[in-house]
Chains A and B, each alone.
Chain A
Amino acid sequence: MRQLVFFLIILLTVLHQDFWWRDDHRTLVLGFLPVSLAYHIGVSVAATVLWGMACKYCWPRDVDVPDSDAWTPPTSGRGGH
């Protein structure tokens, strides 16, 4: 699943280049949206879906830092970050 999600994200970046509609000023979606603009709105929606899937299936390990592993300020109140 992890590889499929990343593949789909890469595919989306390729499909972003919609050269097939670069000439079309006649087709209107919903009666007012130029097809190229409608397509890219679809790209935005697809990006939301795919990144949502990435969060579910490809979440990186080691990033959920437990409090026991977190930095704490020195007790003196000086130093550190």
Chain B
Amino acid sequence: MLASTLLASDLPAGMTQLWIIVAYLAALILLGIASNTVFRGTAVDYFVASRGVGPILLVLSVFGTTMTAFAIQGSSGEAWYSGVGIYGKMASWSGIVHAACFFLIGVKLWAFGKRFGYQTQIQFFRDRLESNNIGAVLFPILVLLQMPYIIVGILGSGKMIGVATAGAFPTFFPSPDNPQLVGAVPFWLGTLLATGVVWLYVWLGGARATAWANALQTIIFLVVGVVTFLFIADKLGGAETATRRVQELNPSKLTRSVTPEHEAIYKQRMAEWSAWKASTQPASSATATAAADKPSTKPAAAAPAVLRPHKPSAMSELEFFSYGFIPLSVAMFPHLFQLWLTARSAKAFRLTVTLHPILVMMIWAPCIAIGVWATAAVVGGRPVVPFTNESPGADPNIVLGLMVKMLGDPIVGGLLAAGVLAAILGGMDAQFLSIGSMFTHDIVDHYRRHDSMTDGQRLFTGRVFVILVVLASWLLTLVLQKVPIFTLAIWCFSGFAALFPLVFAALYWKRITKWGAYASILAGIGSGIGFYIYNGREHGFASRVEPEIWGVVPAAPMVIFAAIALVVVSLLTSPPSRATVDKFFSPRPAAE
């Protein structure tokens, strides 16, 4: 605290945070340089680290890749918005289902990758389904599902760097349009820095650098989550006091349902707030909305504020259950497939399968608690979050930032920024690498060179494509920065989940046919597009309303339709050849 006080007094606002971010990015570049010293100069080393990653590095890198900024920033915001149910809906489901996907899908795909030399998912599907064209169908789908995911990450990095560094360079970056970002590193520069650093270490060390960087990033955001939790709990008078305030003001945030008692407490607190508002701001209308939520700056309002309660909202049991379909998406993430292939042995997966659920808990639980506390947090007589879930334009994603800001500690603020950046960049590097790999192997080598490129050509092409992917993603982000594509990214998870029946059947069902696979893709992705259009017309394509079809998350019917189509059409069409079935299902000699 002493160091932070000294730093805060010596440096302009935002400068401490900037230096922490710079130190973090420099550490990533150093990791890239270090990984380059052991780089073997081959395509296999560049794309899959010569299949030499051990268990500890694998668990950290896989976890870092599956956790996005949502795990830190979004989880707090969602808990603030809808309560503790978000943990069961997303985190504990992820713990169970991700581990299942690693165990049932990842290990098998790794084995086929090592046995037959696959470096992309499409290479596996082409062989397994005896279909060259399955690649032409899957490639655009995988890239289109992945791009919004990448762009959301770049958007997040630019915004986080901007918010964290506000005040650092008021002369260079005056930001006349947005007073909150005066002196902040501008969006174009922040995103260029973040993507540039990721490109550099991916260029230098490929998959090995990605694994090392993800391990570092995992450690950073796990530490940041816990540190932030402890500081905030202390500031609010301890964890017990913080939770008791939520019990008194917004008890529905501690449950998934809304009881008559919750409704009664809401009405009572609302009446108290209205009376307080009327007594402190006689000139303002009691019916005012967003502005009325904000703490008054008038002298009359200097007395401790009465907080406005959140309107209780329930989470249905069916919706809660259906969220178990979303984490199935990890089975078809191209960037996760890429990381799976880096494993030294099948046994290296055991630690990943085992520890993943508890690692998810370690990052989500503190962030969920912070989000729930934020609904009733008061410091210095003022609400920490000056709006509620009913306020127009309320942005849950800034709740964690506001909670950290109340600490008034630039070091914790800088650490949080680095933690969120770590979560964002941890997925982005593997995404760049996997798309570069798919372009190289599945398009250029397969269609143009008929799978006859030399190793050196594949390495060169891969690196060039990674540059193109990074550049295209950055430019697209600059163009789309005002377009709300956050919801679109959520739909992409559903799209990947809809491909789960395909990969599961390819690994475990001898009778799957290429026609069954096409039908499954058509039913799963096609129904998803239909749901997206329907939902967009109902709520608006830019809406942040959680997508819902028949009371469940869209991934649920998409997965079910895809599975039914796969089974029915496979049974109606000719079975695969004996040679293919033997190749993938006949017993093999065991390793010593």
B101 to chain A, nearest CB (A): 11
Q: B99-143 interface mask toward A, CB cutoff 8 Å, 1 = contact, 0 = none?
A: 110010001101100111111000100000000000000000000
Q: Is A45 on the interface with B (CB-CB < 8 A)?
A: yes
Q: Is A4 on the interface with B (CB-CB < 8 A)?
A: no
Q: A28-41 interface mask toward B, CB cutoff 8 Å, 1 = contact, 0 = none?
A: 10011110110011
On chain B, the residues within 8 Å of A66 by CB distance are 589-592
Within 8 A of B (CB), among A5-64: 9, 12-13, 16-19, 21-26, 28, 31-34, 36-37, 40-41, 43-45, 47-48, 51-52, 54-55, 59-64
The 4 closest A-B pairs by CB, nearest first: A71-B117, A47-B357, A44-B361, A81-B117
Q: Is B355 on the interface with A (CB-CB < 8 A)?
A: yes
Candidates A44, A48, A71; contact of B114 at CB < 8 Å: A71
Where chain B touches its partner, the secondary structure class is: helix
Can you name 15 A-B residue pairings with CB atoms under 8 Å?
A: A13-B96, A25-B254, A28-B240, A31-B243, A34-B254, A37-B368, A40-B92, A47-B99, A51-B103, A51-B356, A63-B108, A64-B345, A65-B111, A65-B346, A78-B454
Q: Do the beta carbons of A25 and B252 come within 8 Å of each other?
A: yes
Query: Which stretch from B80-88, B473-481, B535-543, B568-576 is at the chain A interface?
Result: B80-88
On chain A, the residues within 8 Å of B254 by CB distance are 25, 34, 36-37
On chain B, the residues within 8 Å of A73 by CB distance are 44, 117, 455
CA distance A66 to B321 in the complex (A): 41
CA distance A72 to B99 in the complex (A): 30
On chain A, the residues within 8 Å of B591 by CB distance are 64-66
With contact pairs A64-B346, A79-B451, A81-B441 given, residues A44 and B247 touching in the complex (Cβ less than 8 Å): no
B11 to chain A, nearest CB (A): 35
Q: Do the beta carbons of A34 and B85 come within 8 Å of each other?
A: no
CA distance A23 to B87 in the complex (A): 16
CA distance A24 to B254 in the complex (A): 8
On chain B, the residues within 8 Å of A81 by CB distance are 116-119, 123, 441, 451
With contact pairs A60-B107, A80-B117 given, residues A69 and B262 touching in the complex (Cβ less than 8 Å): no
A18 to chain B, nearest CB (A): 7
Q: Do the beta carbons of B111 and A63 come within 8 Å of each other?
A: yes
B65 to chain A, nearest CB (A): 18
Q: Is B516 on the interface with A (CB-CB < 8 A)?
A: no
Q: Do the beta carbons of A79 and B114 come within 8 Å of each other?
A: no
Interface size of A in residues (CB-CB distance below 8 Å): 50
Q: B292-335 interface mask toward A, CB cutoff 8 Å, 1 = contact, 0 = none?
A: 00000000000000000000000001001100100000000000
Q: Is B421 on the interface with A (CB-CB < 8 A)?
A: no
Interfacial residues, chain A to chain B (CB-CB below 8 A): 9, 12-13, 16-19, 21-26, 28, 31-34, 36-37, 40-41, 43-45, 47-48, 51-52, 54-55, 59-66, 68-73, 77-81
A81 to chain B, nearest CB (A): 4
CA distance A9 to B384 in the complex (A): 41
Q: Do the beta carbons of B358 and A78 come within 8 Å of each other?
A: no
CA distance A40 to B87 in the complex (A): 7
CA distance A66 to B591 in the complex (A): 4
A19 to chain B, nearest CB (A): 6
On chain A, the residues within 8 Å of B117 by CB distance are 71-73, 80-81
Q: Is B505 on the interface with A (CB-CB < 8 A)?
A: no
Candidates A17, A25, A43; contact of B247 at CB < 8 Å: A25
Q: Which residue of A lies closest to B104 (CB)?
A: A60
On chain B, the residues within 8 Å of A25 by CB distance are 247, 251-252, 254-255, 262
Q: Do the beta carbons of A51 and B317 come within 8 Å of each other?
A: no
Q: Do the beta carbons of B239 and A32 come within 8 Å of each other?
A: yes
Q: Do the beta carbons of A79 and B452 come within 8 Å of each other?
A: yes
CA distance A64 to B344 in the complex (A): 10
On chain A, the residues within 8 Å of B357 by CB distance are 44-45, 47-48, 51
On chain A, the residues within 8 Å of B114 by CB distance are 65, 70-71
CA distance A22 to B110 in the complex (A): 40
Candidates B123, B347, B361; contact of A41 at CB < 8 Å: B361
On chain A, the residues within 8 Å of B63 by CB distance are none
CA distance A26 to B246 in the complex (A): 11
B260 to chain A, nearest CB (A): 10
Q: Is B269 on the interface with A (CB-CB < 8 A)?
A: no
Q: Which residue of B lies closest to A58 (CB)?
A: B103
Q: Which residue of A lies closest to B262 (CB)?
A: A25
With contact pairs A26-B247, A64-B345 given, residues A40 and B354 touching in the complex (Cβ less than 8 Å): no
CA distance A80 to B457 in the complex (A): 13
Q: Is B587 on the interface with A (CB-CB < 8 A)?
A: yes
CA distance A65 to B369 in the complex (A): 44
Q: Do the beta carbons of B95 and A47 come within 8 Å of each other?
A: yes
On chain A, the residues within 8 Å of B350 by CB distance are 52, 55, 59
Candidates A32, A63, A78; contact of B346 at CB < 8 Å: A63
B62 to chain A, nearest CB (A): 13
On chain B, the residues within 8 Å of A17 by CB distance are 317, 320-321
Q: Is B256 on the interface with A (CB-CB < 8 A)?
A: yes
Q: Which residue of B lies closest to A64 (CB)?
A: B591
